[in-house]
Chains A and B, each alone.
Chain A
Amino acid sequence: MTTQTAPEGILVTTTSASTQTPPAARPPVTERSADGGSGSGTGSYEPPTPPRPRRLPSPIRPSAFGAEDVFLLVASAFSALCLVWIVFYQLTSLSGGLGFLVAWYFTFLALVWLGTTQLIERQVATDRVVGVVVVSAALLVIGLVLFIVVWVAYKALPSIHWVALFTKDQKNFQVADPNALSQVGILHAIVGTVEQVLIAVAIGVPFAVATAIYLNEVKGFGSRTVRTVVTAMSGTPSVVAGIFIYSMLILTGVLHYSGFAASLALVVILLPSVTRVVEEVLRVVPSGLREASQALGAPEWRTVWSVVLPTARSGVVTAVLLGIARIVGETAPLLFTAFGSQVMNLNAFSHDQASLPLVIWSDVRQAQPVLIDLAFQAAFVLMTLVLILFVLARIFSRPRGRKSGKRRGGNRPAEDDFMARIFVPIPIEESTDR
């Protein structure tokens, strides 16, 4: 299709629609209208054949997306590819796949816009181009996420030595050993991570749930301030959490570098995020339940303990799981608190301890291929851990059973909304019903 005939293409649809109306149907229409104008009363009156419904020309819908439009997209993509290839490699002799891709993408957009302007209309073209941009941005992000997950596995798996990985630490590492990967593992890091995270959860979650209860159930003096503080804290840089614990406890001699100090630093990160999500979950507990409980004479603590928290259980579990997923990969706070170690240290309360992120961080900066491989394997284990936590959190966030799902459905916000929130520093204010 050339651009010359293109505007007529639109006209063709309108004219063809009107020509499809049979000529025979026309006279009665005009006659009747003439009739109506002059007033009836004269003799030979033919009963008018009922006018056939005229087919309206199909309107231009930007959302209507046919084979032609797909062809336009493909053609633009291809011609952009050719154009950019010529300019990129022949005229300017550039290099780099990324630059090529960027140039290709923008040329592609321009061609789509030009093509659609010629074939259809300018506003449709703008709409189409925005659609292409939006879809490609989202696909880029989603593709990137998938790519990173797969990439970590791809880098880790070929050289992985499963038994050594989960049974050894890095004590026996020798540069010269050709079979070094069977001598080193990350057991010390896994133990360290598990201990630190568990201690952090044991301290942080009750603290966080209590704060959320304070913000949503008790609501006393200063709860507004505390809510603002929680907001502010959820944006606290993780490195600041680390040096805070360092300056408060290690510098003053209360603690030494230890897994416990690391846990405390993790609590600083865990606390605001879990508080915010739990508060949100508590808010959607129907107030009727609370009132019923209190009307039956239950004291406040009993209401919270036996009514509010059980109702919100799945949400609280989700919050905790996502909180764990967040702190399990934190590296910066551990640099100043756990400090990292090459050997196994089972006791989280004394001496330096390793952790998965720390092992990645220290190994990847060595110029040893074996250690870099090990870092990738640690990254793979860490990524798997995060994925498992994430999937578990999603399973728990879903209302279980059809019945309860139906019953709760109306009161709950979209379950997905608080999935991201734990990673996102956004405050939870009084819900404003519009």
Chain B
Amino acid sequence: MAIDLDTPRSEPQHVAPTPITITRDYSTPDRIFRRSVQISGGGVFLLLVAIGSFLAWYGWPAFETAGWGFFTHSGPVTPGSSSGFGVLASLTGTVEVAFVAMLVGAPIAICTALFLSEYAPLKTRPTMIAMIDLAAAIPSIIFGLWAFFELQPNVVGFSTWLSRHASFIPFFKVTSPPLNASIFIAGLVVGIMIVPIVASICREVFSLAPAGEREAALALGASRWQMIRTVVMPFARGGMIGAVMLGLGRALEETIAVSIILGGSYKVTTEILQHGGSTISQLIATNFGSGGELGLHDLLLCGFVLFLLTLVINLAASAIVNRSRSGAGVDL
């Protein structure tokens, strides 16, 4: 709408000026570009939906056969018949492995992150960070090899020691020894494997702690640890929790290293030091194509359960990390 300049301006007319709308006219190549990029973005979305739905679709027959027994039984729901399969033993095994892994890995990871962000000399810091990144790049099968041939023989003695002197803790009780191929050892190696993941996120959130507050604490006479405890930790608490949860997601899904260690069994056990135990991913990896009592649908249903579990944990964790990164909810 053109502005009429000829109208005499005798009286102030209270007419709001019409806002000019700028429309952007995309050319055809641009439209093609935008469309194709949008399609690939949508493709990622569809991929995730497809993963969930295919696993659910093929897993459903197993759930139909076993019913809720799938979650409350271990091994065949009724022995000797084809009435379905229960995953309870693997589910508890997964949780136990992840628990041991977090117990071992999280403190080491947080300390490593503290070292990288607070203690390491500035000159060698990039190299050390690169080493931790390299740890993340080592394939899990190599961790598995190392754990099987190098870690396990050394840990068995420690397990024996624990079982003798700490058996008042129910988890450390041993009823049927050999102490190799145990959930404890699997948890140890997974714990080592999650260190770089947790450490790199923690390092990032630690380094976001504001310099002013750090210097204020030091100027007030705080030692380095007091500064970390009173400034860095409160600031990074959310990020640390999120990082540990991301590590947990990784610990739950770890397949190959655990499969090399664990033999697998259909028995719920809390005696983590002794031979036996299985995890969901180990169950899938070792029973696939073996044609045992586990049908294909059972395995796919297991996969679906694992998928949902890690999905929920990862989404929650990244929400927490993001919140912490943005500095929301932090009162110093």
A residues neighboring B (CB under 8 Å): 62-63, 92, 94-99, 102, 123-124, 126-127, 130-131, 133-135, 137-138, 140-142, 144-146, 148-149, 151-152, 155, 207, 210-211, 213-215, 217-218, 220, 222-223, 225-226, 228-241, 243-244, 247-248, 251, 268, 271-272, 275, 299-301, 304, 322, 325-326, 328-332, 335-336, 339, 357, 360-361, 364-365, 375-376, 379, 382-383, 386-387, 389-390, 394, 416-417, 419-421, 423-427, 429, 432, 434
Contacts and interface: CB of A to CB of B under 8 A. Distances in A.
A380 to B, nearest CB: 9
Nearest to A140: B108
B62 interface: no
Contacts of A220: 34, 38, 41
B145 A375 contact: yes
B249 A425 contact: yes
Interface in B91-113: 107-108, 111-112
Given A237-B253, A272-B44, A127 B145 contact: no
B112 A141 contact: yes
Interface residues of B, number: 112
B258 to A, nearest CB: 10
A56 B218 CA distance: 20
Given A130-B225, A142-B131, A217-B37, 4 more contacts: A141-B192, A326-B137, A360-B145, A424-B200
Nearest to A300: B30
Interface stretch (B1-9, B76-84, B267-275, B304-312): B304-312
Contacts, number: 337
B139 A137 contact: no
B220 interface: no
Contacts of A339: 289
A96 B154 contact: yes
17 contacts: A96-B154, A96-B161, A99-B158, A213-B37, A222-B45, A229-B45, A231-B318, A237-B306, A241-B51, A300-B33, A329-B140, A331-B255, A332-B256, A386-B138, A416-B130, A425-B197, A432-B327
Contacts of B162: 99
Nearest to A206: B40
Contacts of B311: 232, 235-236
Interface stretch (B11-19, B66-74, B114-122): B114-122
A85 to B, nearest CB: 14
A109 to B, nearest CB: 12
B216 interface: no
Contact of B260 (A99, A241, A364, A390): A364
Contact of B54 (A98, A248, A271): A248
B47 A329 contact: no
A375 to B, nearest CB: 7
Given A137-B112, A237-B306, A427-B321, A228 B50 contact: no
Contacts of A148: 138, 142-143, 146
A124 B222 CA distance: 10
A329 B143 CA distance: 11
A325 to B, nearest CB: 5
A97 B145 contact: no
Contacts of B225: 62, 126-127, 130-131
Given A218-B37, A434-B327, A138 B138 contact: no
A215 B112 contact: no
B111 A133 contact: yes
Interface in B278-315: 281, 284-285, 288-289, 296, 299-300, 303, 306-307, 310-311, 313-315
A229 B300 CA distance: 22
Interface string B193-225: 001110111001000101000000000000111
A239 B315 contact: no
Given A220-B34, A231-B318, A427-B322, A239 B27 contact: no
B136 interface: yes
B210 to A, nearest CB: 8
Given A301-B30, A420-B196, A223 B41 contact: yes
Given A330-B139, A382-B142, A239 B156 contact: no
Contacts of A217: 37
Contacts of A332: 255-256, 281, 285
Contacts of B315: 228, 231-232
Contact of A268 (B51, B55, B135, B228): B51
